[in-house]
Structure 1
Amino acid sequence: MPTSIITTDDLQDFKMELLEDIKQLLNQQESGKIKKYLRSSEVMDYLQISPGTLQNLRINGTLPYTKIGGIIYYDAQEIQKVMEENRVLNLEL
């Protein structure tokens, strides 16, 4: 069985690659790319709304959702889409 000798340069290269991967993951998390589906509590925190308001958004069809078992999930992209579609531009005359 052949043996490999690991040098300090190899360890330094590994460290730099690992740090770069961690940076990429943190950037993805900050930009919201990691999590596709949010639970109700996360949506309420994100939109700063109450449980009743979230329920009303579900009932009237404003906010699409998926229910699996007893847990309701919301697609993060759909939430963003609803926010953009309901954007009100303040036009001053």
Structure 2
Amino acid sequence: MGATIITTEDLMEFKVELLEDIKDLLENQNKQTNKKWLKSNEVRELLGISPGTLQNLRINGTLPYTKIGGVLYYEYHEIMGVLEKNKIHNRI
């Protein structure tokens, strides 16, 4: 197997490509979280909760939702508002 020589130009090109890929990933991630309406599975993933916990949040009125047909939708800004409203500040 022959040796391959890597130049500084090769490294700079690799760096630029890597940074572009990272930028694309971050932009795609931001687009996903900035959706106005989220379905139940997206909310559960976002909050790291079970289907039962999400159901309890709906039943007790903590998390507002919209139901169209059999699909439940939640507004992203409402979810963030509930998190902010329930933030606990422990001061010692």
* Same fold flag (TM > 0.5): yes
The answer to whether residue 42 in structure 2 is matched with residue 42 in structure 1 is yes
When the two structures are superposed, what TM-score results if normalisation uses the length of structure 1? Answer: 0.66
Find the aligned partners of 2:37 and 2:30 in 1 and give their Cα distance: 15
Please report how far the alpha carbon of residue 30 of structure 1 lies from its aligned counterpart in structure 2 after TM superposition: 1.2
Residue 74 of structure 2 is matched in structure 1 by 74
When the two structures are superposed, what TM-score results if normalisation uses the length of structure 2? Answer: 0.66
1:18-38 deviation per Cα after TM superposition (whole angstroms, max 9, x unaligned)? xxxxx8xx63751633x1000
Gap regions ≥5 residues in structure 1: 1-22
Residue 18 of structure 2 is matched in structure 1 by none
Please report how far the alpha carbon of residue 68 of structure 1 lies from its aligned counterpart in structure 2 after TM superposition: 0.2
Q: Give the % identical residues.
A: 60
Q: CA RMSD in A?
A: 1.9
Q: How many residues align?
A: 68
* Partner SS, residue 67 of structure 1: strand
* Partner SS, residue 38 of structure 1: strand
